[in-house]
Amino acid sequence: MDQGPDKQAAPGSSGITVIIVGLGLGGLTAAIECRRKGHNVIAIDKQKELKPIGDSIGIANNAAFIVRRWADGAVDRRLQAVIAHPDVMAIYDNKGELLVNSDLSGYGRGYGYPAHRGDLAMAFYEHAKELGVTFRLGHQVLEYFETDTEAGVVLDGQRVTADCVVAADGIHSKARGAVLGTDPAPHSSGYAMYRSWFDAGEVAADPETRWILDGAEQNDVTKLYLGQDIHVMVGTAKLGKEIFWMCTHKDVYDVSESWSYPGKIDDALEYIKDWPITAKLEPLLRKTPAERLIDFKLLWRDPLPTWVSAGGRLVVIGDAAHAFLPTSGQGAAQAMEDAATVAICLEQAGKHDIPLALRTMQALRYRRATLMQQIGFETRNQWHQTDWEAVKKDATLLEIPRPSWVFLHDSQAYAYDEFARAADTVRRGTEYTPTNIPDAGVFHRTMDFHSAIAQQARPTNVPTQRAGDKILVG
């Protein structure tokens, strides 16, 4: 039954049972959306308890479309209490000279959810429980399997079966090996990142550090400092109540080494010891509690040849399918688009044709996700190998791209509109030509999102909402 993007099906009405492995933002979205579309859901995670852990993340406008549909907007309203409220990202050189104030339309207030990853995950988790999702926490998936009629996982020696398995188990996915038959190790992007998030109390009390809080009670602050092969971002959240910072740096260790380390502030500062601005940044960074700093590799996998298993009943989504660099600003959003799309494709194909559903989902999503992976590399290179002569002429070159084809895309409406055409190509074994990416030869790193809003150039099936006097495109 075609419920449409905004409608919620009766629980269990599709007759389809879905196992979801991995409960980050992508997996939780899959659990919610599959439940909304009438599927039975068994959600599995190796953690015994889902807790609000992590650091800063941004869910952009294109993925916020999905969240705004949950509980008639109730989840969106809950999130307003925990998100950051930045209007611009101020971009500086390593001397502290302002280059450009980058408009955060598409990410910031009224568009998306820049927030602590844990706060977002807990809001998603609570909503999934409200919908009646069955959770099995504290279980490590040891094996995946599929037959002509079912798929499943092995947990602690027990086989758990369903009509299909959706694996959102991250960059180190075990499911990927089951999909491909082999699983080459990830390789380093050449960079790693220090990340931290902590309470602003001590920062506010110290004259050397409270500069970061200037004006934050009205608009949260985000500042980005650029140097050769390194960038540092510092900012506030929850209107100055919390501090976050991150430092992307060259990675000298082998991928065979641990991919995540407890970070040391002295090591982080060593990377920027020659920056003129470090004298100002160091007192702030030294406020970081030791247990709140990690240094982890930014790993990369080349685009997979397929996201769907040979039998068509196991699919990988999110980082398990397409790892994103943080500079894309789209990693979580693309996992969520995957999740919403797979739920709709299962609804449209029905219990009798699960393989068609998962292969059609891949057709709808593959080229879009792959192109956005590329954008993350391109943005990082703009920051780390900056053409300073070009920047003198046009500092907007340093901004994160905000193309309307990315930020105005409604993945749920697209899945309903395009399912039949994409499914037909899957049945016939022909190539699907997506319309959720720019045409061949069209420059994909545009900045036309803001102007598209101003001109009301949005899809006709996307309503305009208002929150106070702020227009929301979703």
Active site residues per annotation = 195
- What tokens does 42 get? 């068994």
Burial class (CB in 10 A: 0-12, 13-18, 19+), 51: exposed
CB 459 within 8 A of CB 408: yes
- Residue 466 CB coordination number (10 Å): 9
Give every CB contact of residue 149 below 8 A, 6+ residues apart in sequence.
Answer: none
Give every CB contact of residue 408 below 8 A, 6+ residues apart in sequence.
Answer: 61, 62, 449, 452, 453, 457, 458, 459, 462, 473
